[in-house]
A and B are shown apart, each in its own frame.
Chain A
Amino acid sequence: MKWIDVQNNQSFDLESIVYLRKDDFSNTVSELLQTGSRMIALTPIDKNIPQKIIAVLSDSASSTIHIVGGNFSDGKFEFESWANKYPQTNYFECELSENYGYLSVNHPWLRPVRKQSVILGNKPYQFFKLEGEEVHEVAVGPIHAGVIEPGHFRFQCHGELIYNLEINLGYQHRAVENLFLKAKPNQRIFLAESIAGDTTIGHTFAHCSALESLTQTQISLRADVIRTVAAEIERIAMHLSGLGGLTNDIGFALPSASYGRLRTLAINSLAAICGSRYGRGLFAYGGINFDFTNETIEMVTENLKTIQNDVQKINEYLFSSVGALSRFEETGIINNELANSIGLVGLAARSSGIEDDIRINFPYSAYRYNPVSMITLSTGDVFARARARAMEMDEALRFVFEQIENLPQGKIKSEMGNLNVNSGVISIVEGWRGEIVHIASIDNSGNLMQYKIKDPSFNNWYGLSLTLRNTAISDFPLCNKSFDLSYSGHDL
């Protein structure tokens, strides 16, 4: 066997990874990509030994994660790029190059991921530039017009139309991955909560699951169910926020204000559970910090009932408005083939007809016993991404009501043991945007030696830039909001 297969959240022995010579490594990864696996990480498993890297690929059909090792000890850090044939690996190769000095030979477009004024390959990076008559460039950011995170956008326009949008990020880079290695064990959960403040529960879920697997800690069913309930409330809240943003961007004030009001109810439900409107402080290693009392259940139920009742009417109003539909439909299209080839994930992928949902394909925690339904749409436009939010919200509401009615009994927290030496784990969670991957590995003295995070935004920013080709700049806010990607989750 040229690679090892693991399951989501299954801890594995680091010694079991097979490290192939570079050509063999490159071919094996190609082979797996060819058979439909998708890359989810490309990184050294030990930060201090950059010459040994792993490529992690997930195969949704068989719920398996493949780990291929590559050994570059005897020679240059170079391998043949996969990105020409499989554009989904493009950004992973850029990241590996930026962080560890690898060069993927014949890479179509090596560009910086997080660092500013970086030298990639051997020349300083220049923005892509279009030249010719009727050509102009529009540069926006890092500071944008609204209360949002920073990022730089460079539009190369031909007349009214966008020829290319280059998205340059990294402004939020706080070195979270390094901080995980430096942090005291009691700081790690708080770091996880602040990877992306809008996906606090998603990232903390992935982090806790990873460390619990590495310590073989068993979580009680009650804690598992409450974790998934909180994750679904976060999904409801952020989908409401997304719909509020989309309606705001088309100047449709009434639904926008209504979604805003309902979102307050959703995040206040989280505050009723754990005191923080974003679910901070809820997760603890081995379970959760706050149990559901009758009062919490009552308040959460009441809030969500209001949301369920109101949102149905508001959705109906929105999705039957001709004005709204004409703005949403056929704007920012990303078709199924393109979505597949660039490795889009999560809500955006499902809106382009890709059946990919970690809760279903790689079930974890309480989703193993209490499944959710897959929601896919086929058109891949802003309409699909808006409609998918509405539908996922319905499904999340159904899930939450079902779970809190039949909450299993039990303790909410178990004691966590010591970290298994020489082991690693891959923990994948479906955040509200999509696939969140946390990879942790432990050295022979029981310390974290690598912590790798992949937010769904890492995959999807490229998708946003492609949807804008041949559309007008005025469509940018709407397309951007329909993806609603994280800067801090990408920048780390």
Chain B
Amino acid sequence: MNDAIKIRILQGDPIIHDVKSAVGLPLFRGLPTIQDKPCLDGCNKCTEVCPTNAIKLSPVKIDMGLCVFCPECEAACPEKIIHFTNNFHTVTDSKEKLVVTKETQNVTPEIASEKIRKYFGKSLKLRQISAGGCNGCELELNALSNVNFDLGRYGIEFVASPRHADGVVVTGPITQNMAKALEIAYEAVPNPKIIILFGACAISGGIFQNSDKTERKFLEENIIDLFIPGCPPHPLTFMNGLLDWLDKN
């Protein structure tokens, strides 16, 4: 018993109390910013080093849905136009809004409809489905339940059965071998239900966008509610996105 108390004391107070204003470590790569200045003539160093074709030029735009938040483009840009901040707020409610331009200041999802907030505002149970995820996203989603992030305090939890869920969180580029299982699991979730895409692979295929073993029809056939960019997204990105969306932040 004494030992248990000692260990409990070691735990201290590890929880992140202020989720909204928490920022990442100095080197953490969150929301990118694009400075309003011209590129050097004919320079395309950033697009050349980008592993997922996330950058478009003239003017410079970064699609966070494709971006794996690697350090390459920032290091390659001779004019220091691209910079990754340690801001966790990158979640959007549409694919188009994932594109960061020089005008982008803040990224937050539009507050969900009254109906969604009425249904899920106080309690949201989610079923995660890994469809080709490398376990990076899965680790971060698991981390949400640990003592540092404790997602449960907001009434948001992961459940075992799709029958108990209000929606699905999809990770991975959706492999052919998982396409059917994903469909069945989604079907098993009672209405109304939401779909959240977690990570670059789920949103765009990410580094696996050229794989011939993926089957992404599910995404075309269903309406996606939230896009959570990253590779993998930070737990605080997920939390802030959901809390903003449900107007709880």
Contact = CB atoms under 8 A, between A and B. Distances in A.
Interface in A158-211: 170-176, 178-179, 182-184, 186-187, 189-191, 193-198, 200
Most buried by A among B71, B147, B161: B71
Contacts of A317: 3-4, 7
A197 B3 contact: no
B148 A198 contact: no
A194 B8 contact: no
Interface string A250-287: 00001101101101100010011111111011000000
A142 B132 contact: no
Nearest to B206: A194
Nearest to A197: B136
Contact of A275 (B28, B137, B181): B28
A370 interface: no
Given A149-B138, A280-B70, A317-B7, A175 B27 contact: no
A182 B232 CA distance: 24
A290 B160 CA distance: 40
Contact of A255 (B7, B52, B70, B173): B7
A322 interface: no
B135 A281 contact: no
B135 A171 contact: no
B181 A172 contact: no
A197 B232 contact: yes
Contact of A271 (B25, B132, B206): B25
Contacts of A186: 48-49, 51, 72
Contact of B71 (A116, A172, A263, A281): A281
Given A143-B181, A278-B232, A313 B207 contact: no
Contact of A196 (B4, B134, B175): B134
A462 B224 CA distance: 38
Given A174-B211, A190-B70, A194-B208, A275 B27 contact: yes
Contacts of A170: 177
Interface string A310-331: 1001101100000000000000
Contact of B160 (A146, A195, A258): A146
Nearest to A172: B132
Interface string B104-131: 0000000000000000000000001111
B173 A150 contact: no
Nearest to B134: A197
A49 interface: no
B243 to A, nearest CB: 19
Interface in A390-404: none
A281 B73 CA distance: 12
A174 B28 contact: no
Interface string B49-73: 1011000000000000000111110
B89 interface: no
B70 A172 contact: no
Interface residues of B, number: 67
Contact of B28 (A146, A179, A271, A295): A271
B210 interface: yes
A432 B147 CA distance: 24
Given A149-B130, A280-B70, A317-B3, A261 B148 contact: yes
B133 A488 contact: yes
Chain A binding surface SS class: helix
Contact of B178 (A171, A191, A281, A316): A171
A187 B177 contact: no
A261 B4 contact: no
Contacts of A254: 4, 7-8
A143 B184 CA distance: 10
Contacts of B11: 257-258, 261
A194 B207 contact: yes
A278 B136 contact: yes
Contact of A191 (B177, B207, B212): B207
Contacts of B190: none
A174 B208 contact: yes
B136 A198 contact: yes
Interface in A303-349: 310, 313-314, 316-317
Contacts of B152: none
Interface string B169-204: 000110111100100010000000000000001000
B211 A175 contact: yes
Interface in B79-96: 84
Interface string A64-107: 00000000000000000000000000000000000000000000
A486 interface: yes
Interface in B188-240: 201, 206-208, 210-214, 231-232, 234
Given A142-B178, A255-B7, A310-B10, A194 B134 contact: yes
B146 interface: yes
A373 interface: no
B130 A150 contact: yes
B160 A145 contact: yes
Contact of A261 (B14, B132, B137, B213): B14
16 contacts: A143-B181, A147-B141, A171-B131, A171-B177, A174-B175, A174-B214, A186-B51, A194-B134, A194-B208, A194-B231, A197-B134, A197-B137, A197-B232, A258-B10, A261-B147, A313-B10
Interface of A: 116, 142-143, 145-150, 170-176, 178-179, 182-184, 186-187, 189-191, 193-198, 200, 241, 254-255, 257-258, 260-261, 263-264, 268, 271-278, 280-281, 289-290, 295, 310, 313-314, 316-317, 486-488
Given A190-B52, A194-B201, A257-B147, 4 more contacts: A150-B131, A176-B208, A190-B207, A317-B7
- Top 3 A-B pairs, shortest CB-CB distance: A197-B136, A275-B27, A197-B134
Interface of B: 3-4, 6-8, 10-11, 14, 24-29, 48-49, 51-52, 68-72, 75, 84, 128-143, 146-148, 158, 160-161, 172-173, 175-178, 181, 185, 201, 206-208, 210-214, 231-232, 234
